[in-house]
């Protein structure tokens, strides 16, 4: 009986979270990130009452009532001017597996998003194939082809245990920022979501650039979560919202994916990587549904 209640409560959490995604995609109330429309995330009173009653009965209300009681998440207003934003990733498919909610949000707001992929992902000798797959995935995510750059530097090759030179990465980022008049950078945090050493090196390379450069560039990192949150699917939306509210205004932003199916479509373009366990990852990963970004500069 206990397992039945747990299973039912988890199912209700998924349903509530998916409803939240659907509601957000059809509501004018959107998170203010790189925008001047600072607004609140409202949920309908009927949905609130329905899920409050059911989750109280199942002893899970403590985890979901907090986001509902806090119906308004006020975030600082950002500049109305459209930004030139550089997304720095390590391998083709990083953009689809981890950053799709952010990409979807930024493109929907009309910002100019540039993607810098540090390697071709040639660990298995499929670099050229994976490069083309990245172009196809970015087309699904509505990133223009001419705003995508994939490097194939001998010193920055894909692979576990291959340490990338942070100074070299900083120099590359500096060149991209200068050539594209970039004013904002997005990348991994110090753990790199999956713990891949190349992801971590990209983070440290961006950090090195920020410490060395005289340019005033705003930078954000995609926060890693523990394994339970990571594989909780849309349920992590609630934890992400609560987490973002614990920080000073404007320091952390929670971005919901208004069309999670686009993440599947984009990742499916990476046919060389689209094996069964990655299909499961995209289905159950919280990064398909929500991104939490923290300011690093």
CB neighbour list of residue 154: distance below 8 Å, 6 or more residues apart: none
CB neighbour list of residue 190: distance below 8 Å, 6 or more residues apart: 200, 203, 204, 221
- Residue 99 burial (10 A CB sphere; 0-12, 13-18, 19+): buried
pLDDT at position 6, please? 56
Closest by CA to 77, choosing from 137, 24, 33, 141, is 33
- Domain range spanning residue 140? 82-295
Is residue 238 situated within a structural domain? yes
Name the pLDDT band for 179 (thresholds 50, 70, 90): confident
* CA 89/CA 5 separation, integer angstroms: 41
Name the pLDDT band for 76 (thresholds 50, 70, 90): very low
Is residue 16 situated within a structural domain? no
- The fraction of the chain above a pLDDT of 70, given in percent, is 73
Angle (CA) 157-122-169 rounded to 5° is 25
Is residue 222 situated within a structural domain? yes
pLDDT at position 214, please? 85
* CA 130/CA 127 separation, integer angstroms: 5
CB neighbour list of residue 280: distance below 8 Å, 6 or more residues apart: none
Beta pairing partners, 37: none
Is residue 19 situated within a structural domain? no
Is residue 120 situated within a structural domain? yes
Is residue 289 situated within a structural domain? yes
Residue 165 CB neighbour total at 10 angstroms: 15
- Evaluate whether 202 touches 272 at the Cβ level (below 8 Å): no
pLDDT at position 25, please? 56
Is residue 17 situated within a structural domain? no
Closest by CA to 220, choosing from 119, 291, 123, 132, is 291
- Evaluate whether 24 touches 96 at the Cβ level (below 8 Å): no
User: Which CATH number do you get for residue 187?
Assistant: 3.40.50.10320
What does 60-90 look like in DSSP terms, one character per residue? -HHHHHHHHH----------SSPPEEEEEES
pLDDT at position 45, please? 42
* CA 90/CA 236 separation, integer angstroms: 25
The SS3 of residue 221 is strand
* CA 288/CA 229 separation, integer angstroms: 12
Express each pLDDT in 26-72 by its tens digit: 554 455 666 644 444 444 444 444 555 455 444 433 344 334 333 33
Express each pLDDT in 198-236 by its tens digit: 999 999 999 999 999 888 899 999 999 999 999 999 999
Looking at per-residue pLDDT, the higher value among 213 and 12 belongs to: 213
* CA 146/CA 130 separation, integer angstroms: 17
For the segment 171-183, the average pLDDT, to the nearest whole number, is 92
Domain count, the chain: 1
For 50, phi and psi rounded to 5 degrees? Answer: -60, -55
* CA 234/CA 221 separation, integer angstroms: 20
């Amino acid at each position: 009986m206990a397992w039945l209640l747990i299973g039912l409560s988890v199912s209700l959490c998924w349903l509530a979270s998916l409803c939240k995604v659907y509601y957000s995609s059809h509501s004018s109330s959107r998170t203010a990130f790189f925008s001047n429309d600072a607004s609140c995330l409202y949920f309908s009173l009927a949905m609130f009452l329905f899920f409050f009653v059911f989750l109280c009965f199942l002893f899970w209300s403590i985890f979901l009532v907090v986001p509902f009681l806090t119906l308004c998440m006020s975030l600082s207003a950002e500049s109305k001017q459209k930004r030139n934003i550089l997304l720095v990733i390590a391998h083709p498919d990083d953009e689809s597996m981890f950053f799709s909610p952010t990409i979807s949000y930024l493109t929907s707001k009309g910002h100019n998003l540039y993607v810098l992929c540090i390697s071709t992902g040639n660990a298995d000798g499929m670099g050229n194939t994976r490069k083309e797959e990245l172009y196809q995935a970015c087309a699904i995510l509505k990133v223009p082809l001419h705003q995508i750059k994939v490097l194939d530097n001998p010193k920055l090759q894909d692979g576990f245990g291959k340490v990338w030179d942070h100074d070299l990465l900083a120099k590359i980022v500096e060149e991209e920022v200068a050539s594209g008049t970039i004013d904002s950078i997005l990348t991994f945090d110090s753990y790199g979501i999956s713990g891949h050493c190349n992801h971590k090196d990209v983070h440290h390379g961006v950090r090195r650039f920020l410490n060395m450069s005289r340019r005033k560039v705003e930078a954000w990192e995609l926060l890693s979560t523990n394994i339970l949150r990571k594989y909780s699917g849309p349920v992590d939306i609630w934890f992400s919202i609560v987490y973002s509210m614990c920080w000073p205004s404007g320091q952390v932003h929670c971005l919901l994916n208004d069309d999670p199916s686009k993440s599947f479509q984009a990742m499916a373009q990476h046919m060389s990587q689209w094996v069964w366990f990655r299909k499961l990852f995209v289905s159950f990963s919280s990064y398909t549904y929500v991104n939490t970004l923290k300011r690093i500069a």
